[in-house]
Structure 1
Amino acid sequence: MTDTLKDALRKAAMFCAYQERTQQDVRDRLKDWGVWGDDAEEVIAELIQQNYLNEERFARSFAGGKFRVKSWGRRKIQQHLQQRGITGYNLQQAMKEIAPDDYRQTLAALLDKKRQSLRDDNPLVIKQKLVRYALSKGYESELVFSVLGDE
């Protein structure tokens, strides 16, 4: 391994140690540093071997964090993971981070909080705004209507 590659590996290791990354994040950063092609793949392989880079770990922490902190729904989380190159097994593992009971409770709490901020006399308009809000957060329409129907 050349000095340039060793330097790139060291910088990439620090980049990955700071926060979980995907292979594509690292590839993009290496390209910014002037490392691409087989050299970039060699650095990525070394990062995986040293456990700095683990896409399953990234997917799990991303999904759990976005759900707990931002109250995103499964659809939005899946979409963002797919945009970052996470598919298949890693995507399935990420979705397991969201407990079904917590998911429904979070949606109900989100809708209650949103309802407090709405100022309208027409219940149909309020329901429409709540549905639109929940869908924009990435929740499934069946679940949204189910939660709104329970109230």
Structure 2
Amino acid sequence: MSKQVFTVDEIKRKIEQYCVYQDRCHKEIEKKLTEYNLIPEAKEYILLHLLEHNFLNEERFAKSFARGKFRIKKWGKERITRELKFRDISSYNIKTALKEINEQDYIATLYELVEKKNKLVTEVNLYKRKKKIADYLLYRGYESRLIYEALNTIQ
């Protein structure tokens, strides 16, 4: 099967649709553009077009990413930061994105997760039990200081 050939305008429209469907970061767009085997000038032209017409906005991407991962996957700030850095998002945009997370909701979610995990862990030894819950929350990306405060509520 031969590869389909598209004009630069067709690719531009496809990438616009890709961006409209969900906020994307530069890295995702560049990866998508690589699939089309474009010459560097065409890639630059499309990227510039996306930026100028606000299809590609890193700050908006970072904010929606942080909100979504916290609300849906209940990730902590450290995990969100790690994932955004992996996507080459600037420190400024990461800080801005983390402000999207309400502090009371954040703490409430952490305590909710502690409670939920505490019911699921079958370990009898209290210290081992707390260790398992702490490991789970660290993986989720919560700050160790907050985790240990929350774990002190477990009897």
| TM-score normalized by the length of structure 1 | 0.93
Task: Report what 2:10 is aligned to.
Answer: 7
Q: Could you say if the C-alpha distance between residues 88 and 120 of structure 1 is closer, same or farther in structure 2, counting changes exceeding 3 Å? A: closer
Task: Report what 1:37 is aligned to.
Answer: 40
Task: Report what 2:91 is aligned to.
Answer: 88
* Bigger mean CA deviation after superposition, 54-63 or 5-14: 5-14
Residue 108 (1) aligns with residue 111 (2):
yes
How big is each residue's C-alpha offset from its partner over 1:20-60, in whole Å with a ceiling of 9 and x where there is no partner? 11111111111101124232121011011111111111100
5 Å-filtered alignment, 1:12-23, equals: 12-23=15-26
Which sections of structure 1, spanning at least 5 residues, go unmatched? none
Residue 129 (1) aligns with residue 132 (2):
yes
Q: Distance in 1 between matches of 2:84 and 2:146?
A: 21
Task: Report what 2:78 is aligned to.
Answer: 75
Two-structure CA RMSD over aligned residues (Å)? 1.3
**Could you tell me which of 55, 61, 64 is aligned with 1:58?**
61
Report if aligned partners of 1:27, 1:36 keep a CA contact under 8 Å in 2: no
Report if aligned partners of 1:75, 1:140 keep a CA contact under 8 Å in 2: yes
Q: Distance in 1 between matches of 2:86 and 2:135?
A: 23
Q: Distance in 2 between matches of 1:26 and 1:121?
A: 49
How big is each residue's C-alpha offset from its partner over 1:92-132, in whole Å with a ceiling of 9 and x where there is no partner? 11111111111111000001000111112211111111111
Q: Distance in 2 between matches of 1:41 and 1:147?
A: 49
Q: Distance in 2 between matches of 1:133 and 1:62?
A: 21
The one-letter code of the counterpart of 1:105 is A
Matched position secondary structure for 2:101: coil
Q: Report how many aligned residue pairs link the two structures.
A: 149
Matched position secondary structure for 2:152: helix
| TM-score normalized by the length of structure 2 | 0.91
